[in-house]
Chains A and B, each alone.
Chain A
Amino acid sequence: MKSWGLVLLLLAGMHARAEKTLVYCSEASPSTFNPQMGEDGPTFNASSQMLYNRLVEFEDGGTKTVPGLAEKWDISKDGKTYTFHLRKNATFHTTETFKPTRPMNADDVLFSFNRALKKDHPYHKVNGGHFVFFTGMEMDTMIKDIQKVDDYTVKFVLNQPAAPFIANLAMSFAVVLSKEYADQLTKNKTPEKIDIEPVGTGPFVLKRYVKDNSIRYDANPTYWAGRAKLDKVVFAITPDPNVRFQKLKAGECNLIAEPAPQDLKGISGNTKLKLMSQPGANVGYLAMNVQKPPFNKLEVRQAIAYALNRDNYLNVVYQSTATSARNPIPPTVWANNPDTKDYDYNPEKAKELLKKAGFANGFDTEIWTLPVSRPYNPNGKKMGELMQADLAKVGIRVTLVTYDWPTYLSKARNGEHQMIQIGWTTDNGDPDNFMGTLLSCAAVQGGSNLARWCNKDYDKIITRAKTVSDMRERSSQYFKAQELFKAQAPWVTLAHATVFRGMTQNVEGYKISPLGTEDFYPIDMK
């Protein structure tokens, strides 16, 4: 009986193999199939790149923006009007319940963006009405109006010039939905299906989602950029990282999400598997709350920067899978200033500075250690212990404190901490997404500036950098901002972590995105 079953299984397997199926072991279930309403990586990966397109795309494996559904765009002289010229050959998916009668056009773009922008849009409230990234990236305050010029031309008018606008449009949330499909759903009185039974222009069509179990996709036969080389993609939802690694070894999946650091050697040492890596667009750092003494004193902050042996953390905590961070902006993002003057490890200098600040005998303080493992800091507790020992050498007595993740975040946002370990992975690869989002005066109030550092000169520089659209000018402003930041030392920048992916040898053409998104379209299988 067993052998009979095996024969059948083999036959089924052979049948499937002839059909190029990629099995991806993902880490969690998506919360929706509409990335406009998504909040986390698993949701974006299951929907955005798979099923949809954006007006602008990030280049494969990079942070540069390239044309997507818009073939080209013009920016007005005052930097406030963006005119997008849409491609004419992009069609929406044909599914069991929907058959498009026309290609994607300006109506679809207006429908998609107005859904998030306008509170009185008929689809705004459908399925919750929260467009977390759209508002998080300030698109709601950035965009004044969206106009249809003709069927294939759309004009975005902004309230003021905003250079990161184009990069925002390439982000996972900024997809184009089908208005024709929405109209059909409205007629059938089932508007909620728009986010559950998705219709996009993307390279794959959703075939079936079995909750917490698997998501199946078929290649979109009429994809405008050409049919994908894979026929099918299956997401096997596997929450435990160790189990994902075992499944990869057993050949049950071809590609796994987020391998655990301890499994990396096991992947690279296995002849059937390969390990890919790419410097991530992230930063791990220690923020000092400048609103609380003694961190209001520049010398104290600088002393701490000199007292921490950061190279040691790279070895022990990151196990040499990260590079030392000089700036908030990682080298993978343009405008990283390689010449910023960094603080070397120098306990003597630290003691001197502390003496100058009036703390010859040191002081008592707290470091909050990261309670979760993040790429930018895989082991907060370990790092905390190392920091505690380093600071003890210069007389600073540190108590380590931690909370569960949501509490940690909410207390930190209220500014209850003294020093805190935290980090960031960019959403859109724009320097403003580090320098503005994490360090502007506005972000003190918003809560994401955990150093609670507000420097008027710095703010002026980054505001200018955000509003001019000339890249060279922007870059030079950010160079200046990074120098000022470093001299003022509201953070100790720790590391830029490398991102890893494990896969079977037969997976070809895959590129890791520094932004953490997964794109299966370029993949082929031998």
Chain B
Amino acid sequence: MGRVLIKRLLNAVPTLFGVSLVAFLMIRLIPGDPVLLMLGERGGSPELVTEMRHNLGLDLPLYSQYFQFMGRALRGDLGESIISKRPVWNEFADRFPATVELSAAALLWSVLLGIPMGVIAAVKRRRWPDHLLMSASLIGYSMPIFWWGLILIMFFSVRLGLTPVSGRISALYDVEPWTGFYLIDVWRRGLGFAGFWETLRHMFLPALVLGTIPVAAIARMTRSSLLEVLREDYVRTAKAKGLSFYRIVFVHALKNALLPVVTVIGLMLGTLLTGAVLTETLFSWPGVGRWLVASVQARDYPVLQGGVLLLSVMIVLVNIAVDIYYIYLNPRLRGAL
């Protein structure tokens, strides 16, 4: 186990270096510069522009800016945001719980819905439930998220008045961020069940939208994997033994069929953490995705390069964890641990 872990971690090092370089260069290759953006239509004297560039270290050659960034990053210092002047670390930490909370909710419902959908489709292969569920998942997979979210807002929030339009909790509640997870923090402020319920209501639509693609992916993977397993010899043996069809599916086949689904879920977790950009913007969800979008617009170089690096570390770690869990789940690979 330890050896696999160390190997994987070492493999991750070049990946992260690559990511840091790409993140560093990408934002600088887009035209525009943070100082001119700050000054806007108003502009400023050339001296002011030069001075501001100098104070931000933007007048150094690119390579030395990169080495400075990496040198500090290796010591755990990601620099300071140009806009807020606060450490990138703190800014990230303030927003990460919101993203995690939303991603977890989205993942939860996509697993709870996606796996049964896949199972039903596989069991009823080539019959109408299969066609219906697989068409639905194809639509879900290709849904333009922003449009989908707006449609849901107009229907659920404005037409029916069932869910709030956006935000994490009603503006009338004063929640003091403590863990950053509102489902926990509301109890601390004595807002109790009403606050908890409010938070859930606010999470409903964004989680639904964010989970749309994962549901589709999980359903499709479950279906194809289960179909493959159902063709295995041991399933035929089970049938020959006279076991009931449902026993074969749920007790024998599903367990094995879920192995690749675990990988998909792991990958989806990465997508959720980073892919919440549109959902967070639409639902005014104060998470990491929205923060990064705003930082692109403001050309806030330190935030973007630091934020992307942190998210990449996160995704790499999730992938390693999934790999190891996968090995652990698969008895044939367990020898490798």
Chain A interface residues toward B at CB < 8 A: 2, 4-5, 8-9, 11-13, 16, 21, 23, 28-29, 31-32, 39-40, 127-130, 132, 135-136, 207-208, 210-214, 216, 234, 236-240, 242-243, 246-247, 249-250, 252-253, 403-407, 409-410, 413, 422-424, 427, 437, 445-448
Q: Is B57 part of the binding interface, using a Cβ–Cβ cutoff of 8 Å?
A: no
A424-B41 in contact (CB<8A):
yes
Assess whether B158 is in contact with A409, with CB atoms less than 8 Å apart. Answer: no
Contact of B187 with A by CB under 8 A = no
A238 to B31, Cβ gap below 8 A?
A: no
Show 26 residue pairs from A and B whose CB-CB distance is below 8 angstroms, ordered by the A residue. Answer: A5-B197, A5-B198, A8-B193, A8-B197, A12-B172, A23-B172, A31-B83, A31-B84, A39-B38, A39-B40, A132-B42, A135-B45, A136-B39, A136-B44, A210-B286, A211-B94, A213-B168, A214-B167, A236-B167, A236-B284, A243-B284, A250-B158, A405-B32, A406-B299, A409-B43, A437-B42
Question: Contact between B194 and A8 (Cβ–Cβ < 8 Å)?
Answer: yes
Which residue from A8, A127, A407 sits with its C-beta under 8 Å from B85? A127
Q: A208-B176, A246-B153, A447-B43 are in contact. Are A132 and B85 (CB under 8 A)?
A: no
C-alpha spacing A410/B44, complex, angstroms: 11
Say yes or no: A5-B194 contact (C-beta < 8 A), given A212-B286, A240-B282.
yes
Query: Is the C-beta of B224 less than 8 angstroms from some C-beta in chain A?
Result: no
A410-B171 contact, Cβ under 8 Å, with A212-B290, A240-B281 = no
Question: Residue B148 at the A interface, CB < 8 A?
Answer: no
B286, A213: Cβ atoms under 8 Å?
yes
Contact of A4 among B84, B161, B193 (CB under 8 A): B193
Distance from B299 Cβ to chain A, minimum over Cβ atoms (Å):
7
- Which residues does chain A contribute within 8 Å of B39, judged by CB atoms? 39, 132, 136
Q: A12-B173, A132-B39, A212-B291 are in contact. Are A238 and B84 (CB under 8 A)?
A: no
Most chain-A CB neighbours within 10 Å: which of B33, B171, B287?
B171
Contact with A252, one of B94, B150, B164 (Cβ below 8 angstroms): B164
Give 14 A-B pairs besides A132-B39, A210-B286 with Cβ atoms closer than 8 angstroms.
A8-B192, A9-B170, A11-B194, A31-B83, A208-B174, A211-B286, A239-B284, A246-B158, A247-B166, A404-B31, A409-B36, A409-B40, A446-B43, A448-B41
| CB of B91 within 8 Å of the partner chain | yes
Question: B175 to chain A: which residues have CB within 8 Å?
Answer: 210
The B24-76 residues at the A interface (CB cut-off 8 A) are 30-33, 36-46, 48, 52, 55
Q: A128-B85, A242-B150 are in contact. Are A406 and B294 (CB under 8 A)?
A: no
* Alpha-carbon distance A135/B38, docked complex (angstroms): 13
In the A-B complex, the 7 residue pairs with the closest CB atoms = A406-B32, A8-B194, A212-B286, A5-B197, A407-B31, A213-B286, A16-B172
Q: Which residues of B contact A32 (CB under 8 A)?
A: 84-85
CB distance from B137 to the nearest CB of A (A): 27
Chain A residues in 8 Å Cβ range of B37: 405-406, 409
Number of interface residues of B (CB under 8 A): 60
For the complex, what is the distance from the CA of A237 to the CA of B154, rounded to whole Å? Answer: 19
Cα A437 to Cα B42 in complex, Å, equals 8
Q: Is B18 engaged at the interface, CB distance under 8 Å to the other chain?
A: no
B197 CB contacts on chain A under 8 angstroms = 2, 5, 8-9
Contact A407-B32, Cβ < 8 Å, known A212-B286, A240-B282 = yes
**Residues of chain B within 8 A of A208, CB atoms compared:** 174, 176
Which residue of chain A lies nearest to B36 when distances are taken between CB atoms in the complex?
Answer: A410
Hey, which chain B residues are within 8 Å of A28, CB to CB?
Answer: 294
In the docked arrangement, what's the CA distance between A403 and B32, Å?
10
**In the bound complex, do residue B168 and residue A446 qualify as a contact, i.e. CB atoms below 8 Å apart?**
no
Confirm or deny: B95 has a beta carbon within 8 angstroms of a beta carbon on chain A: yes
- Given known A-B contacts A12-B172, A23-B171, A243-B284, A404 and B32 have beta carbons under 8 A apart: yes
B55 touches A132 (CB 8 A): no
**Smallest beta-carbon distance B35→chain A, Å:** 9
Mark contacts of B285-313 with chain A using CB atoms, 8 A cut-off: 1 yes-contact digit, 0 otherwise. Answer: 01100110010000100000000000000
> Does B116 touch A at the CB level, under 8 Å?
no
Which residues from chain A contact B83 at a C-beta distance below 8 Å? 31
> Given A4-B193, A404-B31: A240 and B38 within 8 A (CB)?
no
Any A CB within 8 A of the CB of B165: yes
In the assembled complex, the Cα of A403 lies from the Cα of B197 at a distance in Å of 46
Q: Which residues of A contact B291 (CB under 8 A)?
A: 212
Q: Which of B44, B85, B165 contacts A247 (CB 8 A)?
A: B165
The minimal Cβ–Cβ distance linking B326 to chain A, given in whole angstroms, is 36
A407–B32 CA distance with the chains assembled, in angstroms: 5
Whole-angstrom CA separation of A214 from B286 in the bound complex: 9
Q: A211-B91, A238-B166, A448-B43 are in contact. Are A410 and B284 (CB under 8 A)?
A: no
CA distance A12 to B165 in the complex (A): 19
Instruction: Tell me which of A5, A127, A242, A252 contacts B193 (CB under 8 A).
Output: A5
Give chain B interface residues in 234-289, CB to chain A under 8 Å.
281-284, 286-287
Please tell me if the beta carbons of A252 and B170 are within 8 angstroms of each other in the complex: yes
Query: B30 to chain A: which residues have CB within 8 Å?
Result: 404
Cα of A130 to Cα of B83 in the assembled complex, Å = 11
Q: Which residue of A lies closest to B153 (CB)?
A: A246
B144: Cβ under 8 A from any A Cβ:
no
| Residue pair B153, A234 in contact (C-beta under 8 Å) | no
In the complex, chain A residues whose CB is within 8 Å of the CB of B157: 246, 250
Give a binary string over B88-106; 1 marks a CB under 8 Å from any A CB, 0 the rest.
Answer: 0001001100100000000
CA distance A340 to B283 in the complex (A): 48
Whether B283 and A243, one on each chain, are in contact in the complex, defined by CB atoms closer than 8 angstroms, is yes
In the complex, A238 Cα to B283 Cα: how many Å?
8
Asked if B171 contacts A250 (CB within 8 A), the reply is no
Complex CA–CA separation, A422 to B41 (angstroms): 9
CA distance A493 to B282 in the complex (A): 36
Assuming the contacts A129-B55, A208-B176, asked whether A243 and B40 have C-beta atoms less than 8 A apart, the reply is no
In angstroms, Cα B174 to Cα A427, docked, is 34
Q: A405: which B residues are within 8 A, CB to CB?
A: 32, 37
A136 to B299, CA, bound (A): 21
Complex CA gap A448/B36 in Å reads 12
- CB closest residue in chain A, given B39: A132
